[in-house]
């Protein structure tokens, strides 16, 4: 092997960790050490030796190789000897496993290939349907599930986390970003439009009360939040340590109590009627009685004792979005042996797709599995005929549905109330009922009509024209 020249020493940064590499020209003597000067790996007389198996990871190996190549020390990675390879593979089990390695080791979806076989048989019912030309239809696509917050919990690297907008400061400033839940397309089923098609969009609102005493105390407390935010900023920015923050917090708490006490003294001098005193007595008296397990509310005390109740300043406030559910029903009647097979395949398409997954390494038919994988997810589209050289066949006269989980499959094999079957025991007709639940709520930005305003990572959400019903 020809001699390859590398500088005697080179320094690299990987995830804010410093590394230094030194070697002779023949790679017979070399070592790698961290920023503290501790050796991680060494080559002595041509023999590899891993000293710190925890810090010696695949990422360190690949990153250093990339960096050396980028700096022009080598023409290509292929010319670079595998200097970081553990001797005889003896330390492979000591390497820190990456998320991708773990995910690959625990791969799910052992029988998804069966669904793909079914999809290749063009699952359309009825088999002679003229969908897209003279008949409107519903198309249901099946996908493997992809975790929507993987980067937050199990990112491949901090660099990727920051690049994708899932780092600490990004989440703190902008909130949690959900990715697309769809990964690999498995197949599709085309069915006639359901006889019953309806939707119901809802958001959760709730009643809230705020009496005068609560409002007065809240006004004083929330007036101090500016200082609290400044403390958090100083802690994050490294301008103050945790002990300083605790000291400042205690000071702020003392100031708050002092301000509340002063507010009480001011109120005593300025209030010309007994309104505040009466409400205060009822609140304090109720608290004392509740400590003794006597359930007397301030409202009860005021109503029974004074014939009044405090103005609760009742308001209906927004609480949270809600998730939609959909149920579709079809009667599937076989008119031939081919159509009977098609119906069975369609039922299996949905039943198998909603089944909970196990590791590919587990034996089929056993319940043994350390983890359970998320079932497949579904896209639902309503389609119509294309006209005047239109590109899309989407039906914008009815609702749109986001990616869903199939939460229920119900099949009635005796819809007539008695058993009727063809040869091989195939029922003359079945009732198929599918219940779907959307994976995320509907937001106002989902109604955007400009495709350039959408997040590039969310290709599962499409623009909504001005003349479309939308979600």
Q: Compute the average pLDDT of residues 36-65.
A: 70
Residues 6+ apart with CB under 8 A from 302: 278, 279, 282, 308, 309, 310
Distance CA 222, CA 431 (A): 59
The SS3 call for residue 43 is strand
Give yes or no for residue 76 having a pLDDT over 50. Answer: no
User: How would you class 144 by CB atoms within 10 Å of its CB: exposed for 0-12, middle for 13-18, buried for 19 or more?
Assistant: buried
Confidence band for 87, pLDDT divided at 50, 70 and 90: very low
pLDDT at 106: 66
User: How would you class 50 by CB atoms within 10 Å of its CB: exposed for 0-12, middle for 13-18, buried for 19 or more?
Assistant: buried
Distance CA 95, CA 314 (A): 60
The SS3 call for residue 194 is coil
pLDDT at 223: 61
Distance CA 63, CA 66 (A): 5
Least confident among 5-14, 250-259, 271-280, 451-460: 250-259
**In sequence order, what are the beta bridge partners of 43?**
30, 48
Average pLDDT, the chain: 76
- CA distances 69 to 29, 60, 63, 78, 453, Å, are 20, 14, 10, 10, 39
pLDDT at 18: 79
pLDDT at 120: 73
pLDDT at 80: 42
Confidence band for 296, pLDDT divided at 50, 70 and 90: confident
Least confident among 19-28, 260-269, 388-397, 458-467: 260-269
Give yes or no for residue 407 having a pLDDT over 90. Answer: yes
pLDDT at 55: 72
User: How would you class 157 by CB atoms within 10 Å of its CB: exposed for 0-12, middle for 13-18, buried for 19 or more?
Assistant: middle
pLDDT at 318: 92
Confidence band for 271, pLDDT divided at 50, 70 and 90: very low
The CA-CA-CA angle for residues 308, 309, 311, to 5°, reads: 125
Distance CA 186, CA 144 (A): 7
Domain ranges of the chain: 9-96, 108-146+181-202+322-453, 210-318
Q: How many CB atoms are closer than 10 A to CB 255?
A: 12
Give yes or no for residue 86 having a pLDDT over 50. Answer: no
Extended beta strands in 106-234, E state: 123-124, 137-145, 182-192, 203-208
Q: Check: pTM over 0.95? Answer yes or no.
A: no
Q: Compute the average pLDDT of residues 257-274.
A: 53
Which pLDDT tens digit goes with each residue over 190-207?
999 999 999 999 999 999
Distance CA 99, CA 150 (A): 10
Stated as kind and residue range, the H or E segment containing 429 is strand 429-438
Which has the higher per-residue pLDDT, 353 or 91? 353
Give yes or no for residue 3 having a pLDDT over 50. Answer: no
Please answer whether residues 396 and 468 qualify as being in contact, where contact means their C-beta atoms are separated by less than 8 angstroms. yes
Residue 216 C-beta-side C-alpha neighbours within 13 Å: 14
Confidence band for 6, pLDDT divided at 50, 70 and 90: very low
Give yes or no for residue 270 having a pLDDT over 50. Answer: no
pLDDT at 404: 95
Q: Compute the average pLDDT of residues 21-27.
A: 69
User: How would you class 182 by CB atoms within 10 Å of its CB: exposed for 0-12, middle for 13-18, buried for 19 or more?
Assistant: buried
DSSP-derived pairing of the beta strands 182-192 and 137-145: antiparallel
pLDDT at 83: 44
Q: How many CB atoms are closer than 10 A to CB 120?
A: 9
Give yes or no for residue 95 having a pLDDT over 50. Answer: no
pLDDT at 423: 82
pLDDT at 470: 92
Which pLDDT tens digit goes with each residue over 214-257?
776 666 666 655 555 565 566 555 555 555 555 555 555 555 55
Residues 6+ apart with CB under 8 A from 429: 331, 332, 333, 334, 415, 416, 420
Which pLDDT tens digit goes with each residue over 121-163?
679 999 999 888 889 999 999 999 988 877 767 766 666 666 6
């Amino acid at each position: 092997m020809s001699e390859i020249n590398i500088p005697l020493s080179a320094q690299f940064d990987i995830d804010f960790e410093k590394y230094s590499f030194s070697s002779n020209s023949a790679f017979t003597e070399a070592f790698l050490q961290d920023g503290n000067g501790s050796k991680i790996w060494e080559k002595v007389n041509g023999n590899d030796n891993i000293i710190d198996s925890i810090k010696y990871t695949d990422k360190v190996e690949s990153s250093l190789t990339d960096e050396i190549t980028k700096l022009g020390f080598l023409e290509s990675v292929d010319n670079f000897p595998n200097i970081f390879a553990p001797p005889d593979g003896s330390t492979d089990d000591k390497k820190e496993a990456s998320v991708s390695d773990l995910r690959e080791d625990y791969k799910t979806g052992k029988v998804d290939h069966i669904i793909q076989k079914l999809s290749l048989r063009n699952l359309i019912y009825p088999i002679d349907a003229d969908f897209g030309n003279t008949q409107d239809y519903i198309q249901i696509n099946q996908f493997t599930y992809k975790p929507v917050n993987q980067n937050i919990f199990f990112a491949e690297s901090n660099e990727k986390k920051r690049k994708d907008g899932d780092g600490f400061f990004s989440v703190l400033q902008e909130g949690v970003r959900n990715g697309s839940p769809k990964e690999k397309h498995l197949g599709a089923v085309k069915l006639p439009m359901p006889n019953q098609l309806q939707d119901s969009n809802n958001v959760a609102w709730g009643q809230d009360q705020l009496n005068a005493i609560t409002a007065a105390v809240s006004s004083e407390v929330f007036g101090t939040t500016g200082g609290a935010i400044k403390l958090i900023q100083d802690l994050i920015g490294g301008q103050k340590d945790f002990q300083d923050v605790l000291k400042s917090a205690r000071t702020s708490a003392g100031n708050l109590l002092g301000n509340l006490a002063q507010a009480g003294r001011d109120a005593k001098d300025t209030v010309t009627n007994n309104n505040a005193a009466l409400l205060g007595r009822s609140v304090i008296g109720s608290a004392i009685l509740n400590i003794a397990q006597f359930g007397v509310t301030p409202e009860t005390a005021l109503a029974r004792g004074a014939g009044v109740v405090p103005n609760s300043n009742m308001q209906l406030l927004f609480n949270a979005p809600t998730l939609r559910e959909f149920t579709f029903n079809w009667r599937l009647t076989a008119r031939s042996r081919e159509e009977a097979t098609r119906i069975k395949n369609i039922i299996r398409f949905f039943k198998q797709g909603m089944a909970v997954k196990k590791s590919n390494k587990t034996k089929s038919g056993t319940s043994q599995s350390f983890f359970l994988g998320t079932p497949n997810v579904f896209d639902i589209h309503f389609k119509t005929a294309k006209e005047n050289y239109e590109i899309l066949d989407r039906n914008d006269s009815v609702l749109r549905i986001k990616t869903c989980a199939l939460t229920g499959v119900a099949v009635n094999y005796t819809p007539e109330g008695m058993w009727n079957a063809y040869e091989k025991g195939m029922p003359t007709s079945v009732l198929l009922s599918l219940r779907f639940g959307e994976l995320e709520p509907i937001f106002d930005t989902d109604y955007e009509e400009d495709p350039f305003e959408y997040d590039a990572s969310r290709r599962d959400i499409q623009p909504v024209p001005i003349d479309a019903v939308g979600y």
